[in-house]
Amino acid sequence: MRDFTDAEDYEQGMEHIDPELMTRVLGRTSDYDPDDYSDRDVLDAISSENVSEDGFGALLSSAAEPFLEKIAIRAREETMKHFGNSVNIFTPLYASNYCTNRCVYCGFNSSNVIKRAKLVGDEIDREMKAISSTGLREILLLTGESRTHSDPGYIADLVSRASRYFSNIGLEVYPMNTDEYRKMHEMGADYVTVFQETYDTDVYRKVHPAGRKRIFSYRFNAQERALIGGMRGVGFAPLLGLSDFRKDSFACGLHAMEIQRKYPHAEISFSLPRFRPFINHEDAENSVTESKLLQVAMAYRLFMPFAGETISTRERPGFRDNIVKICATKMSAGVSVGIGEHSGSEKGDAQFDISDPRNLEEVMNALVANGRQPVFNDYIKV
């Protein structure tokens, strides 16, 4: 595994922070063997009041698969204890699909021939008005990773405009420096989500051959820079199936836990993306089935009971409706992933296909039918 703890590859202007936290997470992940657990280890983890790092590893292991029902019972108890029956609802707004990275798995890959576009001026307001008219009060702003087409000033303008319509604003854009995150927070942004994609540094290099995203450590430290810049919350996720999903999930959990320990005020959350549809065969080593995705989500819940968990429209409606009864606490609704789709004037192509096309009313009705309480906003700015 290549050492990514130095800044030798950093481009001009990239902020370097202490790599000690990253070194610790990668070192412990390197020592983690998902096959080195017994039934007894799993049962001990399920019955533990506070799941340890080793217990977390056991819950992610193949040894845990026969005990998913027992884990689900415990995960449901923890979710109800800390979140009740509430499920937060939001929708993403894709503002630009320009990207300078060449991630081999991504629709926005700069080498792909797609219809590129970005929202500007009144187009942004039309999209936001269309979303807010449904009653939604939380929005996630997304762009491709291009500091040319979506520079920090452009993203700050997105946030400023969003603050007129929404109470809670998230960002899922390229990693920034502390001062840039501070500016976004001052304009109204509340939280930042960054997908590490994979914590396997060898695989990371292979699937990110070009672009700023190729620099592993700058991406890894994005959440810490965001918190230093004043953000209230940060989100974490690997793209499950890109590498060994058990080791990636273990690393992600450790990453989030280390950040929580260092910044105890931070609101921590996990996302649960996987390759959809499968790019591998069902029985391939890295393929992540629904049961494996559920296993990961439940392990996160028992390891970090207070952390939020977001389930996206990559997943089918039935799976989403059921996972919120066990451990997920947040879901998107009324999703459009093309540039300009919310207002009915699509300008650019989407990053991926969604599997749950339901509108907001349909998602809410399904939640209520399952005994869940849809929540549009859980935070008041004063």
Tell me the pLDDT tens digit for each residue of 83-108. Answer: 999 999 999 999 999 999 999 988 88
The pLDDT value given to residue 229: 98
Interatomic CA distance for residues 21 and 257, integer angstroms: 11
Residue-wise pLDDT for 41-53, tens only, equals 999 999 999 999 9
Low-confidence ranges of the chain (pLDDT < 70): 1-8, 276-285, 347-352, 382
Q: Coil, strand, or helix at residue 173?
A: coil
Tell me the two tokens of residue 283. Answer: 């029985």
Interhelix angle 53-60/290-303, nearest 10 degrees: 170
Q: DSSP readout, 108-165?
A: T-TTS-----B--THHHHHHHHHHHTTT--EEEEEE-S-TTTS-HHHHHHHHHHHTTT
* CATH architecture of the region 69-375: Alpha-Beta Barrel (3.20)
Q: Give pLDDT, residue 203.
A: 96
pLDDT at 382: 65
Q: Report which of 6, 57, 44, 8 is spatially closest to residue 251, judged by C-alpha positions.
A: 57
pLDDT of residue 1: 44
Cα–Cα distance, 87 to 66 (Å, whole number): 28
CA 22 to CA 19: how far, in whole Å? 5
Please state the domain extents for the chain. 69-375
Residue 216 has φ and ψ, to the nearest 5°, of: -55, -50
Maximum Cα interatomic distance, the chain, rounded to a whole number of Å? 60
User: pTM, whole model, 2 decimals?
Assistant: 0.94
Report the pLDDT value the prediction gives residue 343, as an integer from 0 to 100. Answer: 73
Residue 280 pLDDT: 38
Q: pLDDT (tens digit, 9 = 90+) per residue, 264-292? A: 999 999 999 998 654 433 445 678 999 99
pLDDT tens by residue, 210-219: 999 999 999 9
How much is the pLDDT for 3?
54
In sequence order, which residues have a C-beta less than 8 Å from that of residue 171 and are 6 or more positions away?
140, 141, 155, 159, 184, 189, 191, 192, 193
Q: Nearest Cα to 274, choosing from 322, 312, 326?
A: 312
At residue 78, the 3 state secondary structure works out as helix
- Cα atoms in the Cβ-side hemisphere of radius 13 Å centred on 187: 21
